[in-house]
Amino acid sequence: MSRVSDNLIKLSVGSGSGGAVGTATEATGRRADPRRARTRAALLSAGRHLLADGKVAVSIQEITDAAGVGFGSFYNHFDSKEELFAEAVADALDTWGMLRDQVVDGIDDPAEVFATSFRILGRAQRHVPELVQVVLSQGMSVLNTDRGVRPRAVADLDEGIRQGRFTVPSSEMGLMMSGSALLGLMQLLAAHPDLDDGRASDDYTRHVLLMLGIDRDEADRLVGLPLPEVPIPGLD
C-alpha cells in the first residue's frame, strides 16, 4: 500500500447518489431513466447541501429551486421533504461505507482494519466537509442505523474480539466508544480548521485502540502503518 499524505486524499465526485438511484431501479425492476436519475441525484444533492448548512425548515419550492428542477418533479421521487432528508442522510452514510470498504480492501487483521478506517475517516473531514457535516447533523443517531459504517464496524469489532485482538466486552460497547470518538474528532476538526487533521486523527485512533484493549506499543505500530491512497467518494 502506498502512503497517503494528509493532503493527498483524492475525490471521486458523485459516487454516493448514483448508488441510491441504482438500488431504486433494481428494486422496482424498471429500466433506468437517465433523466429521472439525474433529477433524483439533484434533489439528493440539494438535500445534502441544506442539511450541511442546517437549513431544514425549508419549503419544497426552495428545495427544487436549489436542485434546479421543477416543483412537480419532487413528488415523482419523494412524498415529503422529511423523506428526502432521510434519504440524503442514508446516502451520505452509504458513501462512508463505500469509503471504508476501499481503504481496508486486502487487510486481514481486524485491528489494522479498524485503525486504518478510523484514520482515513478522520482525515476526510478536511476533504469532504459537507459530507461530514451531514453526518454530524444527525448526532449519535448515526451509530444506531443499519446504513453506512455501523454494520461494518460491528463486524470488525466482533472479529477483533473473536481473535483476541480487542478486549472490550462487546462490539456494541466498542462501537459506541469508538463511534462517539470519531464524531468528536470530526466536530473538533470542523471547529478548529488550524488543527493538523492527520496528527489529530492518528492521536484519536491511538487512544481508541487503547480503549479497545490494544497495548500501547501495538497501538503505536498500527497508527504508524502507511495508509492506502484511495479516492474518497465526494459530493457534487
Contact 202, 221 (CB under 8 A): no
Confidence category of residue 93, pLDDT binned at 50, 70, 90 = confident
Q: Is 3 a member of any domain?
A: no
Span of 131-135, 164-168, 205-209, 230-234 with lowest mean pLDDT = 230-234
Grade residue 231 by pLDDT with cuts at 50, 70 and 90.
low
H or E segment to which residue 35 belongs: helix 34-52
Among 183, 186, 20, 11, smallest CA distance to 94 is for: 20
Residue 176 has φ and ψ, to the nearest 5°, of: -65, -35
**Averaged over 12-19, what is the pLDDT?**
38
**Number of CB atoms found within 10 A of residue 225's CB:** 14
**Interval 202-218 mean pLDDT:** 98
User: Which pTM does this prediction carry?
Assistant: 0.73
Residue 2 within any structural domain of the chain:
no
Whether 38 is in a domain gets the answer yes
Mean pLDDT, range 6-23, rounded to an integer = 37
List the domain range (segments joined by +) for residue 104.
10-233
For residue 197, the SS3 value is: helix
CA distances from 104 to 94, 107, 205 (A): 16, 5, 15
CATH number at 219 reads 1.10.357.10
In a domain, 1, yes or no: no
**How many distinct structural domains can be found in the chain?**
1
Confidence of residue 128 (pLDDT cuts 50, 70, 90): confident
Mean pLDDT lowest for which of 2-6, 34-38, 201-205? 2-6
